[in-house]
C-alpha cells in the first residue's frame, strides 16, 4: 500500500477506531483520490494533513467507503427468477415439509429497498397460493443512518421506477409533502409489509458473529449479499462467504450482484440459473 494511503488508514484507526485493512487497496485509494478531487487537494500529503484537522472530512471519506446505493427490484433478471422459480419452489418445499416459516437474510441492505422488494414478492406469492406460511426477513447493514432510513420506509417517487403501478397501489401509501423531508412526491411502505422485516446493525467483516443476533440461529433459506464483496480483499471475501455458508439451510440460495458472480464461483458456490446471480453452496461431494 502506498505510504501516504497507509498513513490515512492508520489515522482513521487510531483516531476513530475505523479499521480499513479489509478494503481492497485499489478501491480504498480510489475513494481517497475522489475526496482529494472534491476538496481540491492535488497532493496526498497535503490531503492527509487536511484530514487530520478536519473531522467533517473524515466523516465524508469514511462514508465514501460504504456503498449505499440501492433500488427496488434492482437486478431485473434476478428478481424475475426469484418471482417465477425460486420463491414458488421454496414455498412448495415448505408446504410439503410442513415447516411453515421462510427465513431470509438481506445482508448489507443499505436503505431498505432490497428487503422491501423481497417482502413484496413473498407477500404476493403467499396470497396467490393461499399458503399458511410465515416469513421473517432479517435486514442488516453496518451503516446506522442508512438503517434509520430503511426503518422509516419512506421513499421519493423518483426512486420507485421499477415498482409497478399495481404494487405501488398495494404496498405504498402517499405521504403528505409537508410531512416528509424530501419535499417532493413521496410514498411510505404499508404496515402490513413491515411485519416481515427486522432491521439491525451487523458487520459482515468481523470474525465474531455468524448471523444477525435477532435471527438467533441463522438457518436461512435465502441470503442476499449484493454489491459488497468486490470492495474487500480476497481474505475478507472468503470470510464473508464462509459466514453466510454456515448460516444457510441445505438446498438454500445465495443471491449476489452481477459484478460479483465470478468471486462467488471461486468460493465453492454454483450458479443455478444463467447470469442470475443466484447460487447454491457446493457440497464436498460435488466439487
pLDDT of residue 178: 65
Q: Which tens digits make up the pLDDT trace of 143-193?
A: 888 999 999 999 999 899 999 999 999 999 998 766 666 667 899 999 999
User: What value does the mean pLDDT of the chain take?
Assistant: 88
Instruction: Say if residue 202's pLDDT is above 50.
Output: yes
What's the grid cell of residue 269? Answer: 458456490
Nearest to 175 by CA among 148, 194, 195, 156: 156
Q: Domain 76-281: which topology?
A: Rossmann fold (3.40.50)
Q: Which tens digits make up the pLDDT trace of 112-155?
A: 999 999 999 999 999 888 878 899 999 999 888 899 999 999 99
Q: Are 240 and 210 in contact (CB under 8 A)?
A: no
pLDDT bin (cut points 50, 70, 90) of residue 286 is low
Q: Which tens digits make up the pLDDT trace of 29-57?
A: 888 888 899 999 888 888 888 888 888 88
pLDDT of residue 283: 59
pLDDT of residue 227: 86
Mean pLDDT, to the nearest integer, of 85-109?
A: 92
Instruction: Say if residue 68's pLDDT is above 80.
Output: no
What's the grid cell of residue 180? Answer: 416528509
pLDDT of residue 163: 95
Instruction: Say if residue 87's pLDDT is above 80.
Output: yes
Mean pLDDT, to the nearest integer, of 82-105?
A: 92
pLDDT of residue 147: 94
pLDDT bin (cut points 50, 70, 90) of residue 287 is very low
pLDDT of residue 259: 85
d(CA 242, CA 234): 12
Please tell me the least confidently modeled range out of 1-10, 42-51, 86-95, 133-142: 1-10
Q: Are 172 and 141 in contact (CB under 8 A)?
A: no
Instruction: Say if residue 241's pLDDT is above 70.
Output: yes
Instruction: Say if residue 8's pLDDT is above 80.
Output: yes
Phi and psi at residue 156, to the nearest 5°: -65, 150
Amino acid at each position: 500500500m502506498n505510504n501516504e494511503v497507509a498513513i490515512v488508514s492508520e489515522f482513521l484507526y487510531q483516531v476513530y477506531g475505523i479499521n480499513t485493512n479489509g478494503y481492497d487497496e485499489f478501491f480504498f485509494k480510489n475513494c481517497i483520490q475522489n475526496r482529494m478531487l472534491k476538496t481540491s487537494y492535488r497532493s496526498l500529503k497535503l490531503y492527509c494533513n487536511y484530514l487530520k484537522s478536519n473531522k467533517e472530512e473524515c466523516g465524508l471519506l469514511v462514508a465514501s467507503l460504504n456503498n449505499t446505493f440501492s433500488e427496488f427490484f434492482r437486478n431485473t433478471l434476478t428478481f424475475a427468477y426469484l418471482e417465477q422459480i425460486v420463491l414458488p419452489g421454496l414455498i412448495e418445499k415448505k408446504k410439503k415439509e410442513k415447516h411453515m416459516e421462510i427465513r431470509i437474510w438481506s445482508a448489507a441492505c443499505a436503505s431498505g429497498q432490497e428487503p422491501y422488494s423481497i417482502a413484496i414478492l413473498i407477500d404476493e406469492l403467499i396470497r396467490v397460493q393461499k399458503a399458511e406460511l410465515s416469513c421473517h426477513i432479517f435486514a442488516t447493514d453496518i451503516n446506522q443512518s442508512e438503517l434509520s432510513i430503511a426503518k422509516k420506509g419512506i421513499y421519493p417517487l423518483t426512486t420507485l421506477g421499477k415498482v409497478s403501478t399495481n404494487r405501488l397501489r398495494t404496498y405504498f401509501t402517499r405521504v403528505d409533502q409537508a410531512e416528509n423531508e424530501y419535499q417532493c412526491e413521496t410514498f411510505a411502505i404499508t404496515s402490513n409489509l413491515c411485519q416481515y422485516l427486522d432491521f439491525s446493525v451487523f458487520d459482515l467483516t468481523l470474525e465474531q458473529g455468524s448471523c444477525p443476533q435477532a435471527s438467533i440461529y441463522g438457518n436461512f433459506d435465502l441470503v442476499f449479499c449484493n454489491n459488497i464483496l468486490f470492495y474487500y480483499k480476497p481474505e475478507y471475501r472468503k470470510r464473508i462467504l464462509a459466514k453466510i455458508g454456515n448460516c444457510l439451510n441445505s438446498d438454500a440460495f445465495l443471491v449476489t450482484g452481477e459484478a460479483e458472480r465470478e468471486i462467488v464461483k471461486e468460493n465453492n458456490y454454483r450458479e443455478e440459473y444463467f447470469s442470475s446471480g443466484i447460487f447454491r453452496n457446493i457440497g464436498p461431494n460435488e466439487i
